[in-house]
Amino acid sequence: MAEETKPQSAATEGGSSSGGGRPEGRSDRGGDRGGPRGPRPGGGPGGPREGGRKYFRRKKVCKFCVEKIEAVNYKDVRLLAQFVAESGKITPRRLTGVCTPHQRRLSRAIKQARNIALLPFAGRAQ
Amino acid sequence: MNRSYEVMFIVRPDMVDEDLNKLISTLESSVTSAGGTAKSEIWGKRRLAYKVAKFNDGIFVLLMIEGVGSIVHEVERRLRVTEQVIKFITVRTDEELKRLDKVKKIRESRKKTSTATVAPVTPEASSEPAAAPTA
């Protein structure tokens, strides 16, 4: 159980801190379209913190944590391709709901796959 | 002090089978003569995600090596020299395997302790499948 709660607690901690510290509406990140975002979609039962946040997204769980996929290999293209956009870019964590350690491993694997021509750097993946 | 590596390389698609086997056996012998173990897998022809050396397809070969770093250095040198090889990547895998083993052991030890005591009625979802794996 410790393993299950660990990513959740880490995610909720991250979510609450960012929700509190982020200035309302301002985003200096280029990709943050759509104005102020609600609490970060951390894994598991978070529930709308600080009540009244309208932009609460549906609960998202880390696919790797749920299915207990430990090893992310650059070789399994099908798994990696799920986390890559049409343009070939790596989808951000806030959209896929992946937890941080898995996202780091995932992005490393994607970059390795790109280097060995299993995934494209830009453009559609076949 | 045995590190494990994976070398994946791509060979021109118009290469003959026997030449490919010859190349692989040369690489394997260079590994074993230097005191390591090698295992190879031929993945076959696959479409590349982008053009490499003006080719759109390539034959993928995976070579798993166990040994010291100098062995891999030699293998990479040979790959660079070989004209037929158009791309390669070396990945070190022993740290990852160590971590996977550790996680597996932690999971198993947790399963054992919870099935042994039986007392905790609290739903331990990770340990319940140990007794009756729900597929």
Q: Please report whether residue A123 resides in a domain.
A: no
How many domains, in total, are found in chain B? 1
Task: Point out the residue among A114, A117, A119 whose CB comes nearest to the CB of B10.
Answer: A117
Our measurement of the distance from residue B128's CA atom to the centroid of its chain's CA atoms, rounded to an integer in Å, reads 32
The pLDDT tens digits for B83-103 are 999 999 999 988 888 888 888
Query: How far B122 CA sits from the closest chain A CA (Å)?
Result: 10
* A22 burial level (CB within 10 Å; 0-12, 13-18, 19+): middle
ipTM of the complex: 0.77
Q: Is residue B54 part of a domain?
A: yes
Identify whether A73 is part of a domain.
yes
How many structural domains comprise chain A? Answer: 1
Q: What residues in A contact B125, CB-CB < 8 Å?
A: 1, 4
Chain B residues 94-113 with CB within 8 Å of chain A: 96, 100, 103-104, 106-107, 110
Minimum distance, in Å, between the CA of residue B34 and any CA atom of chain A: 27
On chain B, the residues whose CB falls within 8 A of the CB of A123 are 50
| Residue at B80 is within a domain | yes
Residue B56: predicted pLDDT: 92
Backbone angles phi, psi at B11, to 5 degrees: -115, 150
Taking the Cβ of residue B124 and every Cβ of chain A, the question of whether any pair is shorter than 8 Å is answered with yes
**What domain range is B62 assigned to?**
3-93
CATH number at residue A100: 4.10.640.10
Residue B26 C-alpha, separation from nearest chain A C-alpha, in angstroms: 22
CATH classification of the domain holding B61: 3.30.70.60
Give the three-state DSSP class for A101: helix
Residue B13 lies in a domain: yes
Domain span at residue A72 reads 2-18+36-115
d(C-alpha A49, C-alpha A30), whole Å: 26
**B127 inside domain:** no
Using the predicted structure, report yes or no on whether residue A101 has a pLDDT greater than 60.
yes
Position A8 scores a pLDDT of: 46
pLDDT digits (tens, 9 = 90+) for A20-53: 444 444 445 544 454 455 455 444 444 445 555 5
Q: Kindly state whether residue B51 falls inside one of the protein's structural domains.
A: yes
Size of chain A, expressed as the number of residues it contains? 126
Mean pLDDT, to the nearest integer, of A54-69? 74
Q: Is residue A26 part of a domain?
A: no
**Pick from B84, B81, B74, B13: which is nearest to B43 by CA?**
B13
* Closest CB to A118 among B49, B106, B125: B49
